[in-house]
A and B are shown apart, each in its own frame.
Chain A
Amino acid sequence: MKHHSAQREYWRSLAHLADTPAVRAAAEKEFASYEPEEMLAMPGLTRRRFMKLMSASMALAGMTLTGCRRWPQEKLAPYTSNPPNRTSGVPEQYATVMEINGVGSPLLVTSFDGRPIKIEGNPSHPYSQTVANRAGASDAIAQASILEIYDPDRSRAVINRAGATQVASDWDRLSNWMSATIDSLTTNQGQGLAILGESTSSLTTARLKAAVVKRFPKAAFFEYEPLSRDNEIAGAKLALGRPARQVAHLNKAMVLALLDADPLGTHPAHVHYAFEWASNRPNARRQMSRVYAIESAMTISGSVADCRLGVRPSRIGAILSALAARLGAGGMDVTLAPEEEAFIKHLLSDIADNRGKSLVLVGPQHGPALHALALAINEKIGAIGSTLTFVEEPDGDRASHFDSIADLTNKLKARQIDTLVILGGNPAYDSPADLDFASAMKSAATSIHLSLYDNETSHAALWHVPRAHFLEAWGDCRAWDGTVSICQPLIEPLYGGKTPDQVLAFLAEEPETQSDAIVRKTFAEMDDAAWRRALNEGLIANSGFKEVSGQVSFHAAELYPAVQGYEVRFLQDSKLYDGRFATSGWLQEIPDPLSKIVWDNAALISKKDADSLGVGIGDVLQITVGNSSVKIAAFVLPGQPAGVIGLALGYGRTLGEHIGSDVGVNTYALRSSGAMFFAPAQVSKTGDYYELATTQDHHLIDQLGIEMRQKEIGEKYKSAEVIHEMTFEEWKKVKGAPERTVPLQLYEPPQDEFSGAHAWGMSIDLSKCIGCHACVAACQAENNIPIVGKDQVLKNRQMHWIRIDRYFKGEADDPNPEVVFQPVACQHCENAPCEQVCPVGATVHDTEGLNVMVYNRCVGTRYCSNNCPYKVRRFNYLDWHSQDPRHDKYPKPYLNLPDQQQLETVPKVKQMMFNPEVTVRMRGVMEKCTFCIQRIHNTTISKRAQSEKLNDGDIMTACQQACPTQAIVFGDLRDGKSKVSRSHNDPRAYGLLDEALATQPRNKYLAKVSNPVEA
């Protein structure tokens, strides 16, 4: 710096003024307070050391600071080179098939990064497609298979139980043992070898069975299914002279008479039947079918029937005989009770008006004679060839399932079996109680059980072998009509499990050991191109069973003796099937459609019986059939026929792993040969009380509540607020688009409020919803929704984003009340009450009309849930994903700290199940239906990227896709031609509570149209 010694006027200090050389030197220093050279000259401090120290301190800061962060550390490792044919992060879909009771449900499975995460129906397969080649429906059980494959309780290792000790074994030891066994069996041509399997239509299994028989001519095959449909086959055999399978065509039936039949709920082809049934409710030509249901239980089909009568099981035979006689199909007429007479009078006149368009179906729990009688009736009314056709029944001449298991048990008790191989199933749990199969099994010198879980039968066997889940294995099976589908895996077997085919191949000493080779060999005559096409589409074209035709001959039905007193009716559980899905938490928590019970079964009784027994909901009854009795809580179910106690099968398992053990009461204990579907029973009150968890109407609703509910479900169209309904006659007259409610607002809404390119909306047709809960399961799978367990459902904290409300209409003791199902999910109100009250603005509206929930902003005041009139918002009261849902069985306080839980406490295998496109919510956060915003954005973004137009049906919400009747329609309201726009302009359309509250929901309901007989 220059200094002007003479001209300086202002100075900073005396030293500065003095301007000595020392001062000048000091002023010229770059760093006033220290000498850099001095510092660097410090002993040991080289530049390198300096860098080391600096980086170490930064690392230290990094360590401690990351400790302060709330987010758990996750490691991301992108591929350096992509695996071929796959872009990571882009999901792929593969067709496969799931077999239950020998019938395949065609599926399309979404795979994300090499693991399956979501199941849909196969849109190309006639038995699951709802929109050809675009949408395929499924059911709750198929949706829950995703949970099953990733169930941490699945068996992972071979187990050997010699005597009382249990030893985890391995594949080598097993195969050595099996080889030794096979050698000894070969010497005596398989004498003493028995193979018990589940019902299967697999061509591969049939081929391998033949191969085993060739190798071991004296080996015996047995087949058992607890919910057998053999009565139908035997009935067809009686009527046609040969076993056959009945294929109904409900889309052609304008009059449908269901005599204890449940085609929409428990039939193996129920997804397809529901779709066909819905097409006439009403159809495009403004016609509507009329469904009559006479049943000994409260089923889904009966609930949506236009006319329903609840009767004792023994009456079905009488009613069928009367029908047959009066229609001229043969036999003697029978006098019926007055209400039965009144009922079939209308049925007869409707059938008379609808020749060739009527159909009579009988449920599989009734004997072959009744089925034959129904077929005779069907022939008389012109159903055969139009609404009902026959196809071959594969292996139709085999022994019936019940005979087969009885035969096997006898042979076991007679010590004629040395080696028992059980492929799947759980006969120790679900075989007829009088057989005592579990102890009979012990008579076999060696037994192997191939199973997904180490269950009751595995514990009674010598060897337990883990089975490969259908999503991780090759196989094949046939749909109800026989169309062959190949089951292809989405992932390698997680625990190295084997398929039944592999076991049979091993026994038959086939050269192929891998399941893909085994299946390919069955279809060796298909060339590779055809094979790949079959895999791609999920079916082999034109592979259905051959049609069978024949003259139906009449057989008189023996009438069951009338049962005085109570009788029990064993029911297929709507979620657990025969008990094999008791290990699935999702299925346990999905409510039964009619009773809404979760995590339990109950004795379903009518109000009349409840009053005479002096019991209410939860009072424990003792039910005795023959020499066995069980204690089970009662549930008063409106519509349950008087004198009949409904008992769902599949509960009370002792070895159902963590989820399925000690849930409900084992009603198989009452089920004996000869009375596998109904049985006379003694019922008495025990005086105990057992709390049943239901998702609706928990605690008896008092009279006041019942009255209020009646007001909500009105008699006439537009008089109620919750359910609108009308008769078919009224519907034909109704015209005009519904009015739009306009709420009074204090403020002008912003101009750009709904200015988005799309306006998403949904409609739900109450005429078509059958209450099957496929949508609930699909939503749970798609959106990573947790289960909460029975004790939390008792507090009504279940997390389902969509629920199906079930309302009964009529007096409390009405024996045949009307039932309405109403799926309720977020209505995405344009004038949303939830948005106005959130103090932090965690729920807002986007320009496309979606009410958007921002999880990371939510502090959890729950005001939005309070203000929502539909109560669709679900709050994470606890960390559900980390909590043990069996708190009722294993209570324990739970004190883990927030934020770290899910990654560390959810088992790694279960984490594979989560859909990576949907946030997994932590506790304290509100959540609700988002109209599957991840699907919306995926599709709109990819369409925009391709510059393609978005068409109606390109985006499907999970619930819409799963629904077999297509009751749920979703789409763009801006597109005037979209299905949803047409629904919204339908005169039947109304917004739930919209008139009262002017919430302007984007989800409209179409009033239920029923077709009752004019009185």
Chain B
Amino acid sequence: MASVPTTEFARIAAGIEADNTTDDPRFRAPLVTGNKDFAAVTATVAGVAERPAPPKAWYVAMGVSLSLLGLLGAMIGYLFLTGVGVWGNNQPVGWGFGIVNFVFWVGIGHAGTLISAILYLFRQNWRTGINRMAEAMTIFAVCCAGLFPGIHVGRPWLAYWLFPIPNQMTLWPQFRSPLLWDVFAVGTYATVSLLFWYVGMIPDIATFRDRSKNRIKQVVYGLLALGWNGSSRHWHRYERAYLMLAALATPLVLSVHSVVSFDFAVSQIPGWHTTVFPPYFVAGAIFGGFAMVICLAVPARALFGLKDIITMRHMDNMAKITLATSMMVGYAYMTEFFVAAYSGNSHEAFTFHNRALGPYCWSWCMMTFCNVVAPQLLWSKKVRTNMLLLWIVAMFGNAGMWFERFEIIITSLTRDFLPSSWHAFWPTWVDLCTLAGSFGLFMTLFLLFCRYLPTVAIAEIKTVMPQAHAHAHELHGEDAKRTDYRPDEHMDPDRDAPRLKNR
């Protein structure tokens, strides 16, 4: 081989952090870089939880997150004790930040389920680096999301009436209401996602259990591992369960946010009452979710030394999906405008004029720029592989998705049918603190996850490493230890002749 590694393969063999983002059809890019074998992978991932103390940055982040979480608690307490009036909601804007935040968080969760379930069914092996983290993000996002419908109601101590629990009043909830469909959709989503995430984690938790030195950790991980013993029977059941849960979770990616979009589509307010909402919201959700995953993955991989597992290829792929969904969202925006203009309905046309040119045009500009314009940077590979730029674009995506929900919900409510009822909406400090606090809840849970649970799906990622490939069994001796083996390696006698001769 040349002294200066020129081919990607050579660079990998030489142990330099490689750019595995190329798509050379001759060589499938490795998904785990850095010459890792199975033991190294386990050590890297488990090391995040096992190191005596997490990195300082974790403490700093945790401090900030816990304060924000405390702020959230205080704001919720104030809200319950005083009333919804502490928010900026008014007549006609009955839904303000509470529902904007709800839709925002629930949308973010969809990316995780897409990565975990849909990409699994599509056999996209690269998902294994990020699926655990993404699925965790989903769970925590759904936690944040589920908080808001509970607290935004006028009498939150009676929010349980939305659940179909048999009661002495012999009353069922009213099933024609989309808010009730939300209860079922989000409830199902939370349940299935939690199950999927947990079941998927069992082998990895067992790994943690087996590696724990601390008695408490052994007990806790042991309980959580449900007696996993790594036998083929367990593996078989695991694979079956995983497949079924993936199949269950797949439709949820599309249905949950569609049902959430029904909150708006089923009402009759101009700007809400449109059939494009379910696909529009789902596309937006996936876009926002991937943006959030990128935002979490970029610092997490740097901080916890996971760069070889969550590789450039992973980031590149996620960026591509982000770009694709951003274009879908852009297309949805254009569809909305076209339909409003073409419909001849003056209320509908006015609503879109109002969004772009009325008093909230600044939020429309934010939304359009962040969701449609900024992600176009991701066409450039340089941007996709530059972690800082990627992170910035992803942050724009997050902000843009929040503004999109703000735009949809608030502008349609401020100006609907009767001009005499038009009124603006402005958030109060409680609104803003609650929003910030919800990020605190999310980040607290996520940081705890990073520290105490397997951040990467160890078992799954091993299946996409070359050592897992069937051909690996054919190699004996040193070859068995080859880390540069590519699954589809086509043996080139000229190049590999010395080795072949050794066999």
Contact = CB atoms under 8 A, between A and B. Distances in A.
A792 interface: yes
B92 A701 contact: no
Interface residues of A, number: 66
Interface string B233-274: 000000000000000000000000000000100111100000
Nearest to B268: A833
A870 B418 contact: yes
Interface in B76-98: 78, 81-86, 88-92, 94-95
Given A863-B179, A877-B89, A894 B82 contact: yes
Interface stretch (B169-177, B288-296, B468-476): B169-177
A495 B159 CA distance: 45
A866 B417 CA distance: 11
B85 A797 contact: yes
Nearest to A700: B359
Contacts of B155: 858-860, 898, 923-925
Interface stretch (B187-195, B350-358, B376-384, B395-403): B350-358
B82 A837 contact: no
**Most B Cβ at <10 Å: residue of A708, A711, A878:** A708
Interface in A65-81: none
A730 interface: no
A867 B176 CA distance: 14
A876 interface: yes
A721 B350 CA distance: 14
A840 B154 CA distance: 13
B82 A878 contact: yes
A697 B174 contact: no
A838 interface: yes
A633 B350 CA distance: 32
B84 A797 contact: no
A871 B421 contact: yes
Interface string B147-188: 001001111111101100000000111101111100100000
B347 interface: yes
A863 B173 CA distance: 14
Contacts of B353: 704
A859 B419 contact: no
A776 to B, nearest CB: 14
B92 A859 contact: no
Contacts of A997: 268, 417
Given A702-B359, A837-B179, A839-B177, A866 B267 contact: yes
A985 interface: no
Contact of A841 (B88, B173, B422): B173
7 nearest interchain CB pairs? A860-B154, A924-B154, A877-B85, A862-B94, A805-B420, A841-B174, A878-B85
12 contacts: A702-B359, A704-B357, A792-B85, A857-B161, A860-B84, A867-B267, A867-B269, A870-B417, A873-B91, A898-B81, A923-B83, A924-B153
A709 B177 contact: no
Contacts of B350: 704, 708, 711
User: DSSP majority for the A interface?
Assistant: loop
Interface string B43-87: 000000000000000000000000000000000001001111110
A25 interface: no
A712 B419 contact: yes
Contact of A863 (B92, B172, B267, B358): B267
B124 interface: no
B78 to A, nearest CB: 8
Interface of B: 78, 81-86, 88-92, 94-95, 149, 152-159, 161-162, 171-174, 176-180, 183, 263, 266-269, 345-347, 350, 353-354, 357-359, 413, 415-424
Contacts, number: 196
A996 interface: yes
Contacts of A824: 418, 420
B413 A866 contact: yes
A867 B268 contact: yes
A866 B94 contact: yes
Contacts of A873: 91
Contact of B268 (A838, A869, A898): A869
A866 B162 contact: no
A878 B83 contact: yes
A211 interface: no
A705 B266 CA distance: 25
Nearest to A712: B419
Contacts of B92: 796, 865-866, 871
**Most A Cβ at <10 Å: residue of B149, B172, B350:** B350
Contacts of A923: 83-85, 154-155
**Most A Cβ at <10 Å: residue of B81, B180, B267, B420:** B420
Nearest to B357: A704
B420 A860 contact: no
B153 to A, nearest CB: 5
A702 B162 CA distance: 40
B159 A875 contact: no
A833 B162 CA distance: 19
Contacts of B180: 839
Interface in A976-1015: 992-993, 996-997
Contacts of A711: 346, 350
Contacts of A870: 417-418, 421
Given A797-B90, A865-B94, A996 B347 contact: yes
B154 A871 contact: no
Interface string A470-502: 000000000000000000000000000000000
Contacts of A697: 420, 422
B277 to A, nearest CB: 15
B83 A895 contact: no
B214 to A, nearest CB: 43
Given A698-B423, A870-B418, A875 B91 contact: yes
A260 interface: no
A698 B424 CA distance: 8
A859 B158 contact: yes
A837 B424 contact: no
Contacts of A992: 418
Nearest to A841: B174
Given A837-B179, A867-B267, A860 B421 contact: no
A894 B158 CA distance: 22
Contacts of B84: 860, 875, 877-878, 923-924
A947 B417 CA distance: 45
A836 B358 contact: no
A836 B273 CA distance: 14
B422 A861 contact: no
Nearest to A876: B154
Contacts of A89: none
Given A704-B354, A722-B418, A895 B81 contact: yes
Given A722-B418, A866-B94, A870-B421, 17 more contacts: A698-B424, A708-B346, A711-B346, A795-B423, A805-B418, A833-B267, A837-B178, A841-B172, A857-B171, A859-B158, A860-B84, A860-B155, A875-B84, A877-B83, A878-B82, A878-B86, A926-B154
Interface string A870-894: 1101111111000000000000011
A795 B418 contact: no
B448 to A, nearest CB: 32
A893 B428 CA distance: 14
Contacts of A894: 82
Interface string A431-453: 00000000000000000000000
A398 interface: no
A780 B85 CA distance: 21
A893 B430 CA distance: 13
B85 to A, nearest CB: 3
A531 interface: no
Contacts of A877: 83-85, 89-90, 154
A795 B82 contact: no
B175 to A, nearest CB: 9
**Most A Cβ at <10 Å: residue of B94, B263, B269, B416:** B94
A704 B95 CA distance: 24
